[in-house]
Amino acid sequence: MLEFKNLIYQKEANIGIITLNRPQVFNATNSELLGELAELLDEIAEDEEVRVLILTGGEKVFVAGGDIQYMSQATPLEMERFIALGHKVYDRIADFDKPVIAAIAGMALGGGCELALACDIRIAADNARFGQPEINLGIIPGAGGTQRLSRVVGSGWVNYLIMTGKIIKADLALKIGLVTEILPAEQLMTRAGELARELAAKSPVAMRLAKSCLNNGANGSLSSGLLYEQKVWALLFATEDQKEGMAAFLEKRKPEFKGQ
């Protein structure tokens, strides 16, 4: 496993946990952090023992946004490269072939909210705060906020959040569907671990293909999404996991999936 300056990685059985670790700037993203995250994701993707990934910033902050000190001194060309890297990494998370859970405490603003949006499931501590405040800096969300946010919360709320730059609390984030659960801060990682273990017990091959169907449907027409779903559904009947899952159901026992 590689050593990283801005990330902490732990593996517990079938679960990988990435903790963003730039506390001096509230985990603000820069090219170095994003580059490290890209490397680590590639390494985890090759680890067949890991079935679920948790992404967190720790107990106090998720990601406060992009590193404004870094961005304020950059040229347009440098910022083009930076945001292209951001898109590459966030797309990697969205397309990752293992479920990704965002465990969010404290601020998830700007690029931090966009990072959370790239994850499959988002749970939040009661101290979490969300927003796309870029408009207050004379810019717009650039790492997927204008696109992914509308796919999660709908056009009315995405227009409000991006045009006003307002920061919202966890209870409103839950109400509009940005997160699925709110926990006391001290229980956040415990719950994330429980949820990860629940997902890790499912068929890895079915999970991977379910995610591919969800992503394919979000990016295409209904007809093409339905056809893709049909083919994937039939394909799964060639897997050992399908045979094990149905046999376990009929035998009234828990299945033991092997990802085959």
The residues assigned a catalytic role are 114, 134
Cα torsion through 187, 167, 173, 60, rounded to 10: -10
DSSP state of 191: H
Q: Where are the beta strands (DSSP E) in 83-172?
A: 100-104, 107-109, 121-125, 129-131, 167-169
Yes or no: say if 229 and 211 are a contact pair by the CB < 8 Å rule.
no
In whole angstroms, what is the distance from residue 252 CA to residue 259 CA? 21
In whole angstroms, what is the distance from residue 206 CA to residue 186 CA? 32
Placement of tokens 């995250």 in the chain = 37
β-pairing, 129-131 with 167-169?
antiparallel
Element housing 182 (H / E): strand 181-183
The token duo for 223 is 């007809």
DSSP state of 172: H
Placement of tokens 């085959």 in the chain = 260
